[in-house]
Structure 1
């Protein structure tokens, strides 16, 4: 899996980039949980955009994947700043 932040190549099952340490995007759909191919743009089951920051409920934390309410500045799960 290629890191979108630094371009380093990581193992397909890696959670964090070995080059820069950022959390790698989940290999499953945030909406329905269906496993996804690493290069897929949309979920094959529900059609949701994979790796999207915006969701119907609000903002997805880039650090832990938790979906926070719209307008939230810090994640309710991990307290990281939401970009």
Structure 2
């Protein structure tokens, strides 16, 4: 069963509606391990890493440079 990769709500302030720009560090279909950095989130002037929640193949569901928000589904790991 695929494991969802979502934008964790604790990464930035709840009252910040602007979202973040998503930059992928891995390509679609890449093998990833749990805890591997798979993307960067650019929130205002801060860069945060998004880690893989599980090991498997990364299936990207969000375009590079997309603006994402807390809780958004951005990928799956098979």
Give the TM interval when normalised to the shorter protein: under 0.3
Q: Which one has the bigger strand percentage? A: 2
TM-score scaled to structure 1, two decimals? 0.24
Greater RCO (CA < 8 Å, at least 6 residues apart) = 2
Between structure 1 and structure 2, the one with the greater Rg is 1
TM-score scaled to structure 2, two decimals? 0.25
